[in-house]
Amino acid sequence: MNSQVPVCLAQVTEETAHWQNILLEQHADGICQLTINRPKVLNALNAEILAELDQALNLVAKANDVRVLLITGAGEKAFVAGADIAHMKQLTALEGKYFAEQGMAVFRKLENLPVPVIALVNGYALGGGCELAMSCDFILAAENARFGQPEVNLGVTPGFGGSQRLTRLVGRGMAMELLTTGRMMNADEALQRGLANHVYPQADLLDEGVKLAGQIATKSRTAVQLTKQLVQRGQDLDLDNACVMESDVFGLSFSTPDREEGMAAFLEGRKPEFS
């Protein structure tokens, strides 16, 4: 195994040994960090990275010692500067469609991961990079972050969900402006438009991400996972059906040991010890 590639779980070292572009490492208390590690081309995504990302997400999904996943890019310049243009230049129309379907499937898997996922955007998040960040549950941005969907400059459309997720996140008018001009948003504008939750100096981004993830990691794992499911599934339902789903899941949460512990701890005036 490549010693440069720490892994979340001791058992999965063999599965990660051949990865060239993804680092997976464990911080304290169930916080896992996934780094897209191709800084020479600003972490641009090709089919190989997407395949490795897919495998990494499969591992995180089954790792019972992961409570929160952080995703970031290697180096100080970029989160991910988009899909790899050198890779895309060679693709036929059908191969382009397959490439988009591969990216869509991986980003959908990320969105549906049982644990919360936080994007730490440490520079350019363009095209597929912005799409990757938007597929995370929320975004923390460094002051040097730049967000955009510049595909119109290349004569193509977004392919990993950008036209859909950006519209849902910032509204139709602003999404149309950004998608049709290809202009970049800086971190403050991303914050103002609700794309990023917080902005930090670049040197503090990882620490702040770990701190926030640490808060989540102390909560009931089951309650956090059920909450993520509610938010993910509910956003595509009408309010009546979404509220029915919430009552059902609320009821379900009463069957868990964490509910016993959480309520008992409150009534006994102590901190809960969740499983």
Q: Does residue 93 sit in helix, strand or coil? A: helix
What is the rounded (10 degree) CA torsion for 73, 201, 188, 49? 0
Residues that bind ligand CAA (CB under 6 A): 41-42, 44, 81-86, 103, 124, 126-128, 131, 150-151, 154, 158-160, 162
DSSP state of 45: B
How far does CA 88 lie from the centroid of its chain?
A: 23
Of 30 and 129, CB closest to ligand CAA: 129
Provide Rg for the chain, Cα atoms: 19
Residue of 56, 154, 167, 49 lying closest to 102 (CA atoms): 49
Give all strands of the β-sheet with 68-73 in edge-to-edge order. Answer: 22-26, 31-36, 68-73, 117-121, 138-142, 198-200
Which CB, 86 or 239, lies closer to ligand CAA?
86
Burial (CB < 10 A; 0-12, 13-18, 19+), residue 219, is middle
CA distance 41 to 88: 14
Cβ at position 189, least distance to ligand CAA in Å: 16
Would you say 12 or 175 has its CB closer to ligand CAA? 175
- Of the pair 23, 130, the CB lying nearest ligand CAA is at 130
Question: What are the catalytic residues?
Answer: 131, 151
CB of 163 to ligand CAA, least distance (A): 9
The CB-of-83 to ligand CAA minimum distance in angstroms stands at 3
Least distance between ligand CAA and beta carbon 119 (Å) = 16
